[in-house]
Structure 1
Amino acid sequence: MAEALARAALPFLPEDGRGRIINVTSSAGLVGTLGQVDHSAAKAGIVGLTESLAANRPAGTSSSALSPRRPRPR
């Protein structure tokens, strides 16, 4: 679903450097959850999709993934 929406939105993004794609994920995609492997894998996929969009983005666009949890300090 997220990939289809991103593909549909790309032709309508402005070309003046203001185009943005923002995906929302959950902390499950970053740290995993007990007993919900499928949910964690799906949310990690959103992060991977966002990184791929950023690497292959058309000129003047950016992509970000938001998660409600702060990353653990290293």
Structure 2
Amino acid sequence: MLVLTRKPGESVMIGDDIEIAIVSVSGDQVKIGINAPKHIDIHRKEIYVQIGNENKSASAGVTDLSGLLKLPPRK
């Protein structure tokens, strides 16, 4: 993990197209702004974990997909 010190108004670049900006610091809260291309999903970690868990639950028990090859073509 890379740990950096930044002040409000300063930024960190990830690659060429993702910018993480420190918007403000108040007590133990830090507000950040994220500027990234629209095709990149951005989630708080707890939401990201929840989405992953829901995806695992939705796919639980689905192990045999061979029947999909036998479906008739769509009209």
What TM-score does the superposition give when structure 2 sets the normalisation length? 0.24
For the pair shown, the structure with the greater C-alpha radius of gyration is 2
Larger % of helix: which?
1
Larger % of strand: which?
2
> Relative contact order (C-alpha < 8 Å, sep 6+): which is higher?
1
What TM-score does the superposition give when structure 1 sets the normalisation length? 0.25
